[in-house]
Chain A
Amino acid sequence: MGGYGDVQMIDENGLRMDGRSPGDIRDITIETGVIPVADGSCRMTWGTNEAIVAVYGPMEAHPRKIQRQDRAVLDVAYNMAPFSTTDRMRPGFNRRSREISKVTKDALESVVLLELYPRSKIRVTIEIVSAEAGTRCVGLTAASVALADAGIPMTDLVVSVASGKINDVVVCDLNKEEDNYGEADLPMGIMPNSGELVFLQMDGNLSQEEFKQAWKYNMDAAQVVHGMMVEALKGGGPQ
């Protein structure tokens, strides 16, 4: 979010640098069952973002001190591969990845029926192998597909989409330049069947009207992405 207002990212016809209209999202592909040893897995590409998620469990929670007597614990680890960006990422966890792991865990805890598996653990590993912008959204969305693929009971899937503001125009699904030089960013995690929110963050400033527009873009995009998630889950495995 550089906020460099002189970078022109939207032309006189209202098209963005990559040719999309303000409400368009980038191309998405979703594939399930990509890691044979995992209980559930998903590979998701979103523009040039790519996330691979593996889910293991429910399993015995170790060390025992992390066990909860009334429910399972979710162990979410988000990590960006060193080769995922043009500048090499230093391997291992950092403050950003810890933050994203935490917000992803909190969002997923809203939908996973953890009380069915007391004292156990469900491990969700999110690996970003190619990063453009919006990796937390890709990670969370792919994690919800992988959890469903693993047969973990959930009240709904979670779709995460971000909208933002560039050159005073609200746009959906920011790409790298828009994210770097835009004026605001609003990632949301949405339960598509009920329209409930499980996650919301905001960076930058939006007026009430702009916020409502970004909200609407996110809600509309969530329905499109949800359709693709359902398609991937129902088509999973050889016919």
Chain B
Amino acid sequence: MNSGPVARPDNMAKKNGAAGPRGNIRGQTLVVPGEDLGDSGDFEAGHGVMAISGRLKAVKQGRLREKGGSISVDPTHTRYIPRPGDLVIGYIEGCTNNLWFIELGAPFNAILPMSLGPGKVDFGGTRSVMDIGDAVLCRIQEVEETHSSVVTMKGMGLRKIRSGVIEEIDPHLLGRLIGKGGESLRRLKAETECRIVVADNGRMWIDGELDGILDVRNKLSAISERNSGGED
């Protein structure tokens, strides 16, 4: 997140001065919460949009997108919401005798039961296997109605992360990092000679030489900056 220009009466673009509700502003790119997006008649309310009393209203800050009869907002900032099957990188935030609590950057922590942990763990021995602060690569096994999620480390490549660094970007920007068919990510791996594992919660594990890691970091900050506001 970067510091933006300061809004003052003398440098305000009058065309954007949002003095109350307006008619139809679908031509504009950026919207803020509460902004009126016109009549809900022909459009369905997508992500970040609500229909209130027959009018569409933005409920998130971001870019307006109109696609297939629905109107949605691509938010500028998002929080990861777990879905079953997602590959995620989490940090151990707590543990009991038979499970770990994993912080995924989501509004709710996940649990990792001893039975789904790495290898065989004795009852009471969770902390000796993975302690608070350790990073783990795991997969979402289940998300309950109450938003509680269960993760597993049983699976190929799922492990405790012992080397390299973990970087983070907003989850909705992952598509830009990976590119069509994974092309951008493949190129980045080749250019930096780093091992990169991109998780669905916006975190990525980068392992390799220091120069390569720095190159990847620069690339990530460039993506974040380009997408933190303004036009493409």
Write out, one digit per residue, whether chain B residues 210-232 have a CB within 8 A of any chain A CB (1) or not (0).
Answer: 00000000000000010011110
B48 to chain A, nearest CB (A): 7
Find out whether the CB atom of B36 lies under 8 angstroms from the CB atom of A33.
no
A112 to chain B, nearest CB (A): 9
Residue of A29, A35, A69 with highest tally of chain B CB at under 10 A: A29
B18: interface (CB < 8 Å): yes
The answer to whether residues A227 and B108 also contact, given A148-B61, A151-B79, A153-B60 and a CB cut-off of 8 A, is no
Find out whether the CB atom of A193 lies under 8 angstroms from the CB atom of B20.
yes
Query: Residues of B at under 8 Å CB distance from A?
Result: 1-9, 12-13, 16-21, 30, 32-36, 48, 50, 52, 57, 59-62, 75-79, 93, 103, 107-109, 146-147, 225, 228-231
- Interface range on chain A (Cβ under 8 Å from partner): 35 or more
Contact of B103 among A35, A60, A191, A224 (CB under 8 A): A60
Within 8 A of B (CB), among A183-239: 191-194, 223-224, 226-239
Residue of B2, B6, B147, B231 with highest tally of chain A CB at under 10 A: B6
Residue of A69, A113, A150 with highest tally of chain B CB at under 10 A: A150
B167 to chain A, nearest CB (A): 14
Interface 9-mer from A38-46, A133-141, A172-180: A38-46
Find out whether the CB atom of A148 lies under 8 angstroms from the CB atom of B32.
yes
A18: interface (CB < 8 Å): no
**Bound complex: CA A35 to CA B75 (Å):** 19
Find out whether the CB atom of A231 lies under 8 angstroms from the CB atom of B17.
yes
The answer to whether residues A33 and B1 also contact, given A119-B147, A153-B48 and a CB cut-off of 8 A, is yes
B27 to chain A, nearest CB (A): 14
- Return chain A residues, CB-CB under 8 Å to B12: 227-228, 231
Contact of A232 among B6, B75, B103, B231 (CB under 8 A): B6
The answer to whether residues A232 and B107 also contact, given A151-B76, A237-B228 and a CB cut-off of 8 A, is no
Contact of B225 among A27, A60, A152, A238 (CB under 8 A): A238
